[in-house]
Amino acid sequence: MQGWDYSREGVYFLTICTHNREYLFGEIIDDLIHLNASGEMVLQTWEELPDRFPFLDLDARVVMPNHFHAIVILRRGESCIRPACAPSQNIMQVNHSDIAVKGEHKVRPYKTTPALGTGAGSIGRIVQGFKSLTTRQYLRGIKESGWPPFKGKLWQRNYYERIIRDEEEWERISDYIAANPINWAMDRENREAGKIRADEPWHV
Protein backbone atom coordinates (compact mmCIF):
# COMPACT_ATOMS: atom_id res chain seq x y z
CA MET A 1 0.00 0.00 0.00
CA GLN A 2 1.56 3.24 -1.10
CA GLY A 3 2.89 5.22 1.83
CA TRP A 4 2.47 2.40 4.33
CA ASP A 5 5.28 1.77 6.80
CA TYR A 6 5.97 -1.96 6.44
CA SER A 7 7.88 -2.06 9.69
CA ARG A 8 4.64 -1.12 11.49
CA GLU A 9 3.14 -3.57 13.93
CA GLY A 10 0.44 -5.67 12.35
CA VAL A 11 -0.50 -8.85 10.51
CA TYR A 12 0.54 -9.51 6.91
CA PHE A 13 -0.18 -12.16 4.29
CA LEU A 14 2.84 -12.97 2.11
CA THR A 15 3.36 -14.95 -1.08
CA ILE A 16 6.85 -15.67 -2.41
CA CYS A 17 7.33 -17.51 -5.74
CA THR A 18 10.25 -19.33 -7.27
CA HIS A 19 11.91 -17.78 -10.30
CA ASN A 20 9.90 -18.60 -13.42
CA ARG A 21 7.53 -20.60 -11.17
CA GLU A 22 9.89 -23.58 -11.30
CA TYR A 23 8.73 -26.65 -9.36
CA LEU A 24 11.57 -27.16 -6.88
CA PHE A 25 10.12 -27.98 -3.47
CA GLY A 26 8.07 -31.14 -3.90
CA GLU A 27 4.83 -32.28 -5.45
CA ILE A 28 1.12 -32.55 -4.73
CA ILE A 29 -0.10 -36.15 -4.38
CA ASP A 30 -3.68 -36.94 -3.36
CA ASP A 31 -4.27 -33.32 -2.31
CA LEU A 32 -1.27 -33.31 0.04
CA ILE A 33 2.07 -31.54 -0.34
CA HIS A 34 5.00 -33.93 -0.27
CA LEU A 35 8.08 -31.80 0.31
CA ASN A 36 11.44 -32.87 -1.01
CA ALA A 37 14.70 -32.05 0.79
CA SER A 38 14.79 -28.50 -0.53
CA GLY A 39 11.17 -27.95 0.47
CA GLU A 40 11.95 -29.14 3.98
CA MET A 41 14.89 -26.73 4.03
CA VAL A 42 12.63 -23.83 3.02
CA LEU A 43 10.15 -24.68 5.77
CA GLN A 44 12.84 -25.06 8.42
CA THR A 45 14.49 -21.79 7.42
CA TRP A 46 11.16 -20.00 7.67
CA GLU A 47 10.42 -21.42 11.10
CA GLU A 48 13.83 -20.28 12.36
CA LEU A 49 13.37 -16.65 11.25
CA PRO A 50 12.16 -15.46 14.69
CA ASP A 51 15.66 -16.31 15.96
CA ARG A 52 16.98 -13.60 13.64
CA PHE A 53 14.00 -11.26 13.92
CA PRO A 54 12.79 -11.40 17.55
CA PHE A 55 9.88 -9.04 16.80
CA LEU A 56 8.47 -11.57 14.31
CA ASP A 57 5.75 -14.12 15.10
CA LEU A 58 4.73 -16.78 12.59
CA ASP A 59 1.21 -18.00 11.88
CA ALA A 60 -0.21 -20.17 9.09
CA ARG A 61 2.13 -21.19 6.29
CA VAL A 62 2.47 -23.69 3.46
CA VAL A 63 5.31 -24.60 1.12
CA MET A 64 4.02 -25.49 -2.35
CA PRO A 65 5.97 -26.89 -5.32
CA ASN A 66 6.82 -23.42 -6.63
CA HIS A 67 5.65 -20.88 -4.08
CA PHE A 68 5.22 -20.16 -0.42
CA HIS A 69 2.31 -18.60 1.50
CA ALA A 70 2.54 -17.33 5.07
CA ILE A 71 0.93 -15.04 7.62
CA VAL A 72 3.32 -13.09 9.81
CA ILE A 73 2.84 -10.79 12.78
CA LEU A 74 5.13 -7.86 13.45
CA ARG A 75 5.05 -6.75 17.08
CA ARG A 76 6.85 -4.11 19.01
CA GLY A 77 5.84 -5.22 22.49
CA GLU A 78 5.42 -8.63 24.11
CA SER A 79 4.65 -11.69 22.01
CA CYS A 80 1.06 -11.61 20.84
CA ILE A 81 -0.11 -14.81 19.18
CA ARG A 82 -3.78 -15.39 18.46
CA PRO A 83 -6.15 -16.17 20.00
CA ALA A 84 -4.54 -15.12 23.28
CA CYS A 85 -4.67 -11.40 22.54
CA ALA A 86 -7.52 -9.24 21.38
CA PRO A 87 -7.74 -8.31 17.68
CA SER A 88 -7.29 -4.64 18.51
CA GLN A 89 -3.79 -5.43 19.72
CA ASN A 90 -2.51 -7.10 16.60
CA ILE A 91 -4.83 -6.43 13.65
CA MET A 92 -4.20 -3.57 11.27
CA GLN A 93 -6.39 -0.57 11.91
CA VAL A 94 -6.78 0.76 8.39
CA ASN A 95 -9.23 3.27 6.98
CA HIS A 96 -10.77 1.32 4.11
CA SER A 97 -11.78 4.52 2.31
CA ASP A 98 -8.09 5.43 1.93
CA ILE A 99 -7.01 2.33 0.00
CA ALA A 100 -7.81 0.39 -3.12
CA VAL A 101 -8.41 -2.97 -1.47
CA LYS A 102 -8.88 -5.11 -4.58
CA GLY A 103 -5.50 -4.29 -6.09
CA GLU A 104 -3.44 -4.23 -2.96
CA HIS A 105 -1.94 -7.71 -3.09
CA LYS A 106 0.88 -6.71 -5.42
CA VAL A 107 4.59 -7.09 -5.77
CA ARG A 108 6.36 -4.88 -3.29
CA PRO A 109 9.35 -3.06 -4.82
CA TYR A 110 12.66 -3.50 -3.03
CA LYS A 111 13.97 -0.12 -4.12
CA THR A 112 11.76 2.20 -2.15
CA THR A 113 11.94 4.55 0.79
CA PRO A 114 13.89 2.50 3.37
CA ALA A 115 11.49 3.18 6.24
CA LEU A 116 8.58 1.94 4.11
CA GLY A 117 10.18 -0.97 2.27
CA THR A 118 13.34 -2.70 3.40
CA GLY A 119 14.39 -0.69 6.40
CA ALA A 120 15.43 -2.49 9.57
CA GLY A 121 12.53 -4.46 10.99
CA SER A 122 10.40 -4.25 7.86
CA ILE A 123 8.56 -6.98 5.98
CA GLY A 124 10.86 -6.37 3.04
CA ARG A 125 13.96 -6.95 5.15
CA ILE A 126 12.51 -10.21 6.49
CA VAL A 127 11.72 -11.47 3.00
CA GLN A 128 15.18 -10.51 1.76
CA GLY A 129 16.77 -12.40 4.65
CA PHE A 130 14.63 -15.46 3.98
CA LYS A 131 15.50 -15.47 0.28
CA SER A 132 19.20 -15.03 0.97
CA LEU A 133 19.34 -17.83 3.56
CA THR A 134 17.38 -20.30 1.44
CA THR A 135 19.34 -19.50 -1.72
CA ARG A 136 22.66 -20.18 0.01
CA GLN A 137 21.39 -23.45 1.43
CA TYR A 138 19.89 -24.50 -1.88
CA LEU A 139 23.19 -23.87 -3.66
CA ARG A 140 24.87 -26.04 -1.03
CA GLY A 141 22.27 -28.73 -1.69
CA ILE A 142 23.03 -28.63 -5.41
CA LYS A 143 26.72 -29.10 -4.74
CA GLU A 144 26.54 -31.65 -1.96
CA SER A 145 23.28 -33.54 -2.53
CA GLY A 146 22.47 -33.18 -6.22
CA TRP A 147 19.37 -31.00 -5.83
CA PRO A 148 17.92 -29.83 -9.19
CA PRO A 149 19.71 -26.64 -10.30
CA PHE A 150 17.80 -23.44 -10.90
CA LYS A 151 18.32 -20.94 -13.70
CA GLY A 152 19.61 -17.55 -12.63
CA LYS A 153 18.08 -17.27 -9.16
CA LEU A 154 15.99 -19.31 -6.79
CA TRP A 155 13.23 -16.78 -6.08
CA GLN A 156 11.46 -14.28 -8.27
CA ARG A 157 12.22 -10.63 -7.60
CA ASN A 158 10.02 -9.05 -4.94
CA TYR A 159 7.00 -10.71 -3.35
CA TYR A 160 3.26 -10.30 -2.85
CA GLU A 161 1.74 -8.92 0.31
CA ARG A 162 -1.54 -7.94 1.87
CA ILE A 163 -2.29 -6.15 5.12
CA ILE A 164 -4.80 -8.23 7.09
CA ARG A 165 -7.59 -5.97 8.33
CA ASP A 166 -9.57 -7.96 10.84
CA GLU A 167 -10.09 -11.35 12.47
CA GLU A 168 -12.56 -12.48 9.81
CA GLU A 169 -10.04 -11.84 7.06
CA TRP A 170 -7.33 -13.53 9.10
CA GLU A 171 -9.48 -16.66 9.38
CA ARG A 172 -10.34 -16.60 5.69
CA ILE A 173 -6.72 -16.31 4.58
CA SER A 174 -5.67 -18.99 7.07
CA ASP A 175 -8.25 -21.31 5.53
CA TYR A 176 -7.00 -20.44 2.06
CA ILE A 177 -3.43 -21.31 3.05
CA ALA A 178 -4.48 -24.62 4.61
CA ALA A 179 -6.47 -25.56 1.50
CA ASN A 180 -3.71 -24.68 -0.98
CA PRO A 181 -2.66 -28.30 -1.64
CA ILE A 182 -6.28 -29.39 -2.13
CA ASN A 183 -6.86 -26.55 -4.60
CA TRP A 184 -3.59 -27.06 -6.50
CA ALA A 185 -5.43 -28.06 -9.71
CA MET A 186 -6.87 -24.53 -9.89
CA ASP A 187 -3.97 -22.63 -8.33
CA ARG A 188 -2.79 -19.57 -10.26
CA GLU A 189 0.81 -20.72 -9.71
CA ASN A 190 0.10 -24.13 -11.24
CA ARG A 191 1.30 -23.77 -14.82
CA GLU A 192 -0.98 -26.60 -15.95
CA ALA A 193 -4.04 -24.88 -14.52
CA GLY A 194 -3.50 -21.36 -15.84
CA LYS A 195 -6.39 -19.95 -13.85
CA ILE A 196 -6.87 -17.32 -11.16
CA ARG A 197 -9.33 -18.47 -8.56
CA ALA A 198 -12.14 -16.05 -7.85
CA ASP A 199 -12.05 -16.86 -4.13
CA GLU A 200 -8.38 -16.02 -3.56
CA PRO A 201 -8.22 -13.91 -0.41
CA TRP A 202 -6.96 -10.74 -2.12
CA HIS A 203 -9.98 -10.66 -4.46
CA VAL A 204 -12.25 -8.96 -1.94
Chain segment 83-93, per-residue pLDDT in tens: 434 333 334 44
For the stretch 146-165, what's the b/e string if a residue is b when 16 or more beta carbons lie within 10 angstroms of its beta carbon? ebeebeeebbbebbbbbbbb
User: What confidence score (pLDDT) does residue 17 get?
Assistant: 97
Report for 81-90, 110-119, 180-189: range of highest mean pLDDT: 180-189
Please tell me whether the peptide bond between 83 and the residue prior to it is cis, using omega within 30 degrees of 0: yes
Q: What is the pLDDT of residues 136-171, one digit of tens each?
A: 999 999 999 999 999 999 999 999 999 999 999 999
Entry pTM: 0.79
Secondary structure (3-state) at 188: coil
List, in order of start, the domains of the chain with CATH numbers.
10-186 (3.30.70.1290)
Q: Which amino acid is at 142?
A: I
Q: What is the pLDDT of residues 2-45, one digit of tens each?
A: 788 889 999 999 999 999 999 999 999 999 999 999 999 999 99
Is it the case that residue 105 has pLDDT exceeding 60?
A: no
d(CA 72, CA 79): 12
**Residue 187 pLDDT class (50, 70, 90 cuts):** confident
Q: What is the pLDDT of residues 120-140, one digit of tens each?
A: 789 999 999 999 999 999 999
Residue 37: CB atoms within 10 Å = 14
Is it the case that residue 104 has pLDDT exceeding 60?
A: no
- For 51-112, the DSSP string reads HH-TTEEEEEEEE-SSEEEEEEEE-SSS---TTSS-HHHHS----GGGS-GGG-S-BPPSSS
Report for 87-101, 111-125, 169-183: range of highest mean pLDDT: 169-183
